[in-house]
């Protein structure tokens, strides 16, 4: 029974968008809840350390994993309900995110268009509360179902239970490695208003002479902007933004902006200010620099890239050097965005 469920000694380089080499001692594809239940019932389950992988677009693998990699592949997408304000649309964790977004738009359910072309799967999207061009997943989130890997129990999480923050949720904190997200349900507004406040997106729509964009036109504009600035993981290994944009308090910001008057910044509702990590890194001279197989992307300094042959440790070494120089120059701590395994 278990030999059918588990594979042994599997290479993971194609299962992470950075293309980093690593092997999993044990590996299992999870394409249904039944299959997961069968895995949990095996004797091996109890002694294996576990790692859940989705699209592998937000993970840095630093070496071989001695435990069990669970590859979340549960499929499915459907309208599961509606009320006066919204359509409720559910997708299985294994659905590729961008394909799901395109499908919702084809069905006439707007709301996810600003998040077009983000790599990865639906199941991973709440973990880091994906966001782009003025919208965060949390704003369209209804709930999710996840299996507690310790007990096998299926649990429902509403928005509060997910504890969303900027590129953050309980699944990156106290609940890390404990759950396998099975499906996510989105709340897509019937009275839709376009979110076009992000300067670059607004410029893109203006250049195309679109005044009242449809959701599809916003998705197209987002795809155009992203394709210009962010590397396609199918062409060159990367995990999107490598660091979060740092948030500093009002006093630190006053000092910072006096020294660097033109620096991009985004005031937060609580008086703190978010700085642009890409700008800080570029100012320290890293943009477009290569160190063997790893480098800093030449069109967006917040993205580290692997042109082939990099190992996780090479990526971390570069990341640490960048953190040190940004701390020296600006007194600002950069926190990595992807999960380091």
Among 245, 305, 319, 336, binds ligand EPU (CB under 6 A): 245
The answer to the question of residue 317 lying near ligand EPU (CB under 6 A) is no
* Closest approach of ligand EPU to the CB of residue 305, in Å: 13
Closer by beta carbon to ligand EPU, 82 or else 329: 329
Closer by beta carbon to ligand EPU, 145 or else 337: 337
**Which residues are known to be catalytic?**
167, 241, 337
Closer by beta carbon to ligand EPU, 70 or else 304: 304
The answer to the question of residue 133 lying near ligand EPU (CB under 6 A) is yes
The answer to the question of residue 247 lying near ligand EPU (CB under 6 A) is no
Instruction: Evaluate whether 59 touches 16 at the Cβ level (below 8 Å).
Output: yes
The answer to the question of residue 38 lying near ligand EPU (CB under 6 A) is no
The answer to the question of residue 215 lying near ligand EPU (CB under 6 A) is no
The answer to the question of residue 288 lying near ligand EPU (CB under 6 A) is no
Whole-number Å distance between alpha carbons of 77 and 50? 27
The answer to the question of residue 334 lying near ligand EPU (CB under 6 A) is no
The answer to the question of residue 339 lying near ligand EPU (CB under 6 A) is no
The answer to the question of residue 279 lying near ligand EPU (CB under 6 A) is yes
Closer by beta carbon to ligand EPU, 92 or else 240: 240
Stretch that binds ligand EPU, among 96-104, 170-178, 236-244, 248-256 (CB under 6 A): 236-244
The answer to the question of residue 300 lying near ligand EPU (CB under 6 A) is yes
Whole-number Å distance between alpha carbons of 88 and 84? 11
The answer to the question of residue 139 lying near ligand EPU (CB under 6 A) is no
Among 240, 246, 295, 312, binds ligand EPU (CB under 6 A): 240
Whole-number Å distance between alpha carbons of 205 and 132? 16
For 38, residues 6+ apart whose C-beta sits below 8 A from its C-beta are 1, 5
Stretch that binds ligand EPU, among 30-38, 59-67, 272-280, 317-325 (CB under 6 A): 272-280
Size of the site for ligand EPU (CB under 6 A): 20
The answer to the question of residue 17 lying near ligand EPU (CB under 6 A) is no
Cα 188 to Cα 105, 110, 123, 296, distances in angstroms: 10, 6, 17, 36
Whole-number Å distance between alpha carbons of 61 and 58? 10
Parallel, antiparallel or unpaired: strands 135-136 and 131-132: antiparallel
Binding site for ligand EPU (CB under 6 A): 132-133, 198, 200, 229-230, 240-241, 244-245, 264, 276, 278-279, 282, 287, 300-302, 337
């Amino acid at each position: 029974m278990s030999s059918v469920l588990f594979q042994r000694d599997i290479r993971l380089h194609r299962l992470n968008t950075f293309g980093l080499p690593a092997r999993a001692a044990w590996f299992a594809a999870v394409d249904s809840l039944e299959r997961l239940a069968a895995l949990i019932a095996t004797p091996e389950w109890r002694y294996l350390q576990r790692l859940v992988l989705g699209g592998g677009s937000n993970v840095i693998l630093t070496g071989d994993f001695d435990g069990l990699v669970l590859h979340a592949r549960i499929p499915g997408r459907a309208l599961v309900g509606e009320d006066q304000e919204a359509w409720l649309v559910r997708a299985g964790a294994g659905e590729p995110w961008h394909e799901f977004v395109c499908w919702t738009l084809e069905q006439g359910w707007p709301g996810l268009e600003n998040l077009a072309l983000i790599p990865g799967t639906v199941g991973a999207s709440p973990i880091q509360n994906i966001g782009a061009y003025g919208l965060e997943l949390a704003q369209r989130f209804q709930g999710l179902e996840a299996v507690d890997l310790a007990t096998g129990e299926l649990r429902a999480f509403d928005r509060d239970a997910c504890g969303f923050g900027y590129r953050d949720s309980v699944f990156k904190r106290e609940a890390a490695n404990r759950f396998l997200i099975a499906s996510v349900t989105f709340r897509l507004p019937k009275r839709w208003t376009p979110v076009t406040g992000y300067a670059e997106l607004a410029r893109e729509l203006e250049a195309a002479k679109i005044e009242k964009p449809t959701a599809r036109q916003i998705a197209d504009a987002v795809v155009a902007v992203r394709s210009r600035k962010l590397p396609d993981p199918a062409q060159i290994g990367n995990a999107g933004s490598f660091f979060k944009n740092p948030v500093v308090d009002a006093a630190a910001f006053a000092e910072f902006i006096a020294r660097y008057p033109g620096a991009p910044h985004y005031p937060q509702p609580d008086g703190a200010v978010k700085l642009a990590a890409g700008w800080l890194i570029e100012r320290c001279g890293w943009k477009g620099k290569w160190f063997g197989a790893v480098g800093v992307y030449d069109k967006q300094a917040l993205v580290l890239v692997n042109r082939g042959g990099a190992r996780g440790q090479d990526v971390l070494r570069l990341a640490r050097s960048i953190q040190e120089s940004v701390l020296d120059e600006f007194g600002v701590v950069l926190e990595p965005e992807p999960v380091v395994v």
